[in-house]
Amino acid sequence: MTDDHPTDSGTALREVPLSALEHYAYCHRQTALIHVEGVWSESAETVRGDLSHTTVDLPGIQRRRGLTVIRSLPVWSHTHGLRGICDIVEFERGTATPVEYKVGRYKAGGPAELQLGGQALCLLEAGFDVPTGYIYSVAERRRHAVSIDADLLDRVVAATAAVRRLLDTPALPAARNDARCRQCSLREDCLPELTDGRWQAIPDLLTPRPLGQWRD
């Protein structure tokens, strides 16, 4: 598959990775560091995530009682310029159910749901019904149902357009510099204390000045 897909209008549409949707929902700067600058650093959390995906990252098919389960399934949307790989998709009588694995605890409305919604959008375009998806929490060892409704799909479409604009922007977004930064594996690459934009409002006291400016 090429990097760009033509839309109905004949214009090129830059492809957006499904994983970038979750990154964007978490932090715009993290998205740019990973998908524009190519920055990636491992942490205990990312290593646990890799280990939790060991099984689902191996392509395979299982069939039982009318249910077909496919691991590591590539999906894409020509309409919206999305592409990625689903951890697991379960097919039954024209219905597809994506299952996204996450190492941490499930957070309702969290960034992972946007990635799951992107997978659903791709499967809908392929002609399947996708009423529900699941986030599997490795920490909790259970699935959490996510309704694939119009609101989630609208958010996916909006986020996809926003990520595409970010990929085409040379300047990195300012850091958030909040509680999320403490858990981010890219903290040392991002330096949120220096890149959150607040330093621009602080006078540079190290800039040489004429002696008269320092006198009372």
10 has pLDDT over 60: no
Domain contains 173: yes
Domain contains 27: yes
Domain contains 196: no
Domain encompassing residue 29: 16-189
Residue type, 111: P
**Per-residue confidence (pLDDT) for residue 170, from 0 to 100:** 74
pLDDT tens digit sequence for 137-188: 988 999 999 999 999 999 999 999 999 998 888 777 767 777 677 777 776 6
Domain contains 177: yes
What is the pLDDT averaged over residues 26-43?
76
At 89, the pLDDT band (50, 70, 90 cuts) reads very high
Span of 26-30, 43-47, 96-100, 131-135 with lowest mean pLDDT? 43-47
Distant-in-sequence, close-in-space partners of 214: CB < 8 Å, separation ≥ 6: none
User: Cα 77–80–83 angle (5° rounding)?
Assistant: 45
Distance CA 160, CA 22 (A): 10
**Per-residue confidence (pLDDT) for residue 44, from 0 to 100:** 44
Q: What is the 3-state secondary structure (H, E, C) of the chain?
A: CCCEEECCCCCEEECEEHHHHHHHHHCHHHHHHHHCCCCCCCCHHHHHHHHHCCCCCCCEEEEECCEEEEEEEEEEECCCCEEEEEEEEEEECCEEEEEEEECCCCCCCCHHHHHHHHHHHHHHHCCCECCEEEEEECCCCEEEEEECCHHHHHHHHHHHHHHHHHHCCCCCCCCCCCHHHHHCCCHHHHCHHHHCCHHHHCCCCCCCCCHHHHCC
Judge contact between 160 and 35, C-beta under 8 A.
Answer: no
Kindly give the pairing relationship between strand 67-77 and strand 60-64: antiparallel
User: Cα 103–126–158 angle (5° rounding)?
Assistant: 65
Paired tokens of 130 = 């996708």
Domain contains 198: no
Domain contains 10: no
Tally of domains within the chain = 1
**Residue 107 zone, left/alpha/beta (φ > 0; ψ -120 to 50; rest):** beta
Q: What is the pTM of this model?
A: 0.76
Measured CA distances, 64 to 57, 73, 134, 143 (Å) = 20, 18, 19, 20
Domain contains 84: yes
Domain contains 35: yes
Q: Residue 62: which CATH number?
A: 3.90.320.10
